[in-house]
Amino acid sequence: MSCPQPSRSITVLAAVGVLSLILAACGVGQTIPATTSRALPVVATHHGGGNEPTTTTTTTTTLPAITTTTLPPLGSPGPGLLAGHVTAIGDSVMIDAEPDLKSDIPGIDVEALVSFQFYEGISLVQTLRAEHRLGAIIVIGLGTNGPFSDTQFDEMMSACSGASRVVFITTHVGQPWQDQVNAALAAGVARYPKVAVLADWAALAAQHPEWFYSDGTHMPIGGPGAQALAALVASKV
């Protein structure tokens, strides 16, 4: 007995179905969603302080006016110091401002380390001088991580002996030693009026809590606080 032959329409549909399965397996004929693009956020990073980086957007920043004072004249540098060169020594707060310092003070050498202490800064000044890498203008931004004594301040000035100018940056830190550090800096600068200068970051920073991370000490790199700190230092060198 002969079997009934399938109709032409059924045969065509079956062939189409098989072809569709083959094409699907090969990735042909599938609808691929269009690729979407988006702008990546600018991430501001910082060193120290235990805070996570925050996402920021590029904005135009208007910095507060820096109060200028009469600075002592720049003296001729002593032996082992590089005339016309600026060396900045600091801790993690200075790292936050490092790019802006280099922009505002061309050629500056920034020697900053996380958790750096004042007494360690004395040793670093001595080392740089022995290696003939210490600038005749020296910026000291230490005190964030703890206090120091009047004797240690005098030791720092001895290490900087012959400098054209030594700029000390007051500290803005949410720790009990903040006032002690700043009082010691002010008293120390007063003992060396011909060469030492105070850059009062603490007073300026206190007016702008929005500049800082939640620890109230560290700032986004390239942010308004970092720019303001760099501008303050530049006005003193």
Is residue 209, in this structure, part of any structural domain at all?
A: yes
Angle at 98 between CA 192 and CA 130, to 5 degrees: 55
Is residue 87, in this structure, part of any structural domain at all?
A: yes
Q: How many domains does the chain have?
A: 1
The per-residue pLDDT for 186 is 98
Domain that holds residue 116: 65-234
CATH number of the domain to which 106 belongs:
3.40.50.1110
Is residue 32, in this structure, part of any structural domain at all?
A: no
Is residue 76, in this structure, part of any structural domain at all?
A: yes
Is residue 26, in this structure, part of any structural domain at all?
A: no
Helix axes 224-234, 92-104, angle to 10 degrees: 70
Is residue 181, in this structure, part of any structural domain at all?
A: yes
Is residue 221, in this structure, part of any structural domain at all?
A: yes
pLDDT tens for the chain, 237 residues long, are 444 444 444 443 344 343 344 334 444 443 333 333 323 333 344 444 444 344 344 444 455 555 556 787 887 888 889 999 999 999 999 999 999 999 999 999 999 999 999 999 999 999 999 999 999 999 999 999 999 999 999 999 999 999 999 999 999 999 999 999 999 999 999 999 999 999 999 999 999 999 999 999 999 999 999 999 999 999 999
The per-residue pLDDT for 112 is 98
- Contacting residues for 103 by C-beta, under 8 A, at least 6 apart: 230
Is residue 99, in this structure, part of any structural domain at all?
A: yes
